[in-house]
Structure 1
Amino acid sequence: MQPVLPLECCTAFIWKPVNGPACSPPLIRYGFANSQYGTCLLGWTEQGLCYLGFVDSTDQARAKAELHSRWPRSKVQADPEGVIQRQQDYLQPLERGEDIRAPVVLCGSPFRLQVWQALLTIPRGQTTSYGQLAAILGTPNAARAIGGAVAANPIGWLIPCHRVINQDGGLGGYYWGLERKRQMLENEGALKMKTPAG
């Protein structure tokens, strides 16, 4: 199954658009936006969204440092007006449970790129385990390495690393917090909603 998103990919620290020559690292613009799961920091290039992370405190400087660590050779520039369009293109469809056709940009090792693209094939309302993901990728003994790649996902929520759980059904880990992961899976219908004891 192929990802539905238009993708641009590059290996770590070498900006190389698909079917194109290597070139200088792109300018990264960013802005903060509200979502149903809290404040998000969105980062994007001219080619598409390259970062989505959650900000759980007022420490926006730390969030910006996280973005810059993902793209260490790129200039990072605030764009509070441009983020409005990205909120419409990415966050609002996510909240409605709709497919996103706007492009994303991924940068990482070939192995991580393979894992992140595999995450895009997990349907809304379903989950998979690290071991199952390893089997799908043809690397059944690489569950631990795949776990590391899943944890390093630069575009949270949109690239649905929250849909990967433990083999025993436990939630496992989540960089942006287990309670947020639980809420995402419950809203997608992948977990049964908790009901008061009666």
Structure 2
Amino acid sequence: MLEIAREVAAEEARGASSPLDLCADYDVVRRIVAYISTHWRRQPSIEEIAAHVGLSASHVHHLFRRWAGLSPKAFLQAITLDHAKALLGDQASLLDAAYEVGLSGPARLHDLFVTHEAMTPGDFKAKGAGLTLAYGFHPSPFGEAIVVATPRGLAGLGFVEDGDRDAALADMVRRWPRAIYVEDAAATAPYASRVFEPQRWRADAPLRVVLIGTDFEVRVWRTLLGVPFGRATTYSAVAERIGAPKAARAVGAAVGRNPISFVVPCHRVLGRGGALTGYHWGLTRKQAILGWEAGRIGGG
């Protein structure tokens, strides 16, 4: 353990890792997360986890601390059912509190300091006709990300699986098939850094997002913006919040169609009792994001 402590101290002395470093780490992290997610009930040791990914225990500990700000043990605790239930414990009151500050203007809705606007229903029905969308690929703590932007703000954020950029772009194009897509990483890079570098999360420079969806979907996504960082909600609670208590299934569908992953935090929606239900970008990534957020709050 002394060797591990020395490695951690050396890393902390060098300062925070860049998004590119964290993106490279995620290739190993996702294998670790997948293993922990499968075996968490028996609380595997760090030695067992390290053996599974073919690394030393000290390397795994060091990598995880660099990536998440958490030890593997603390991360394991952060994805257990008990932790999920704790996240849900006061979600109703927290959602209400978020709504009290209003959902327009630069109010602090969550720790990304997001301000937003919605396209008109007519804009959505046109399936993006008349819109020019810039897109680019950028490193993130959760693997390579695709970022889509309009002149008015961030419109899309997704993730690349197994290096398949074409599939990631196709996922966005399916949402607004009549839009014009222009690859312009220089235009989307400021959004990527603003989203994935916590030191850029500033109240005096809110991130502007543009919500492009049906009226019902936009209502759901706005509600998700009210779920505080490090907390969670349920599909039924969101349905209650938007005044459609019997529409939990429709809410689930709208959550699955959220085009701005991570920023509009659909990963914070859990099933009843804290179950980690489906996520458009994969359950392993959902668990990774929740654990990464836990590291931003408390460490371990």
State the TM-score bracket (shorter-chain normalisation).
Answer: 0.7 to 0.9
Deviations 1:20-71 (A, max 9, x none): xxx9622100000000011000000100010000001222111111111112
Residue aligning to 1:9: 118
Contact 2:255 2:266 in 1 (8 A): yes
| Cα separation, 1, equivalents of 2:160 and 2:275 | 25
Residue aligning to 2:167: 62
Contact 2:141 2:196 in 1 (8 A): no
1:150 is aligned to 2:255: yes
1:73 is aligned to 2:178: yes
| Cα separation, 2, equivalents of 1:158 and 1:177 | 16
Residue aligning to 1:87: 192
Unaligned runs of 5+ in 2: 1-98, 104-108
Q: 1:49 aligns with which of 147, 151, 154?
A: 154
Residue aligning to 1:137: 242
Contact 1:13 1:73 in 2 (8 A): no
Contact 2:194 2:200 in 1 (8 A): no
Name the TM-score, length of structure 1 as normaliser: 0.84
AA at the equivalent of 2:116: L
Residue aligning to 1:124: 229
Name the TM-score, length of structure 2 as normaliser: 0.57
Residue aligning to 2:278: 173
Tell which deviates more after alignment, 181-190 or 61-70.
Answer: 181-190
Q: CA RMSD in A?
A: 2.5
Q: CA deviation at 1:11?
A: 4.3
AA at the equivalent of 2:146: L
Q: 1:57 and 1:168, CA in 2 relative to 1: closer, same or farther beyond 3 A?
A: same
AA at the equivalent of 1:111: F
| Cα separation, 2, equivalents of 1:161 and 1:33 | 20
Tell which deviates more after alignment, 64-73 or 157-166.
Answer: 64-73
Contact 1:52 1:154 in 2 (8 A): yes
Q: 1:128 and 1:97, CA in 2 relative to 1: closer, same or farther beyond 3 A?
A: farther
Please identify which structure carries the higher strand content.
1
Q: 1:163 aligns with which of 268, 272, 292?
A: 268
| Cα separation, 2, equivalents of 1:68 and 1:113 | 19
| Cα separation, 1, equivalents of 2:270 and 2:188 | 31
| Cα separation, 1, equivalents of 2:290 and 2:129 | 38
Q: CA deviation at 1:125?
A: 1.0
Contact 2:239 2:245 in 1 (8 A): yes
Q: 1:81 and 1:104, CA in 2 relative to 1: closer, same or farther beyond 3 A?
A: same
SS at match of 1:14: helix
Tell which deviates more after alignment, 39-48 or 64-73.
Answer: 64-73
Q: CA deviation at 1:13?
A: 5.8
Unaligned runs of 5+ in 1: 17-22
SS at match of 1:28: strand
| Corresponding pairs, count | 185
Q: 2:218 aligns with which of 101, 113, 117?
A: 113
Q: Which runs of 4 or more aligned residues in structure 1 lie more than 3 Å from their structure 2 counterparts after TM superposition?
A: 95-100
| Cα separation, 1, equivalents of 2:196 and 2:170 | 22
Larger Rg: 2
AA at the equivalent of 2:234: S
Q: 1:64 and 1:12, CA in 2 relative to 1: closer, same or farther beyond 3 A?
A: farther
